[in-house]
Amino acid sequence: MSPVEVGVIAGQLAAGFVLWTLVEYCGHRWLMHSEMGPRFIRRSHAQHHRDPLGLTWRDSIAFGGSFLLALAGVAALGAIVFGRSSLLLATGVGIGSIAYSLSHRYAHSETFTPDARSRSPWNAHLRHHNLDARANFGFTTVFWDRVFGTIGERPLVAPEG
């Protein structure tokens, strides 16, 4: 495999990961926090806001697994129509989804200390939970919050103790 081919593959995987961050943002903002989202999704997500530590590993795996199954179907269809590129793009989205599921669960665990929270790259998500659920919809990145004007800049102060 030539260096150019390796670069193309890496680029397609990276593009898939970036696409994941957009899917994550849109799903969180419009499926979980607006009337456009199905009621059962909004209710489940509202429960997550009421009890963030109630998110179990099983919940994370179920969400991630459901998404990956849907993604596999789309990837298979895309592979038939577009070839290898769509599989690499879908793989990048899948990697993003798995990374999100695991890190989101960790960010809401009791082992994630208040001091670590205040220094976390997920601090914006914690502000979303604790200060304003109308802002900071991105978890993996705040890029799309900046693009769509939903970034909330108020700092989250770690609780003393």
pTM: 0.79
**What is the predicted pLDDT for the residue at 161?**
34
Contact present, 7 and 84 (Cβ < 8 Å): no
**What is the predicted pLDDT for the residue at 86?**
81
**What is the predicted pLDDT for the residue at 11?**
92
**What is the predicted pLDDT for the residue at 98?**
83
**What is the predicted pLDDT for the residue at 160?**
39
- Both tokens assigned to 99: 């990374």
- Both tokens assigned to 91: 């793989």
**What is the predicted pLDDT for the residue at 145?**
94
Positions in the chain short of pLDDT 70: 55-70, 110-121, 154-161
The span from the CA of 111 to the CA of 59, in Å, is 18
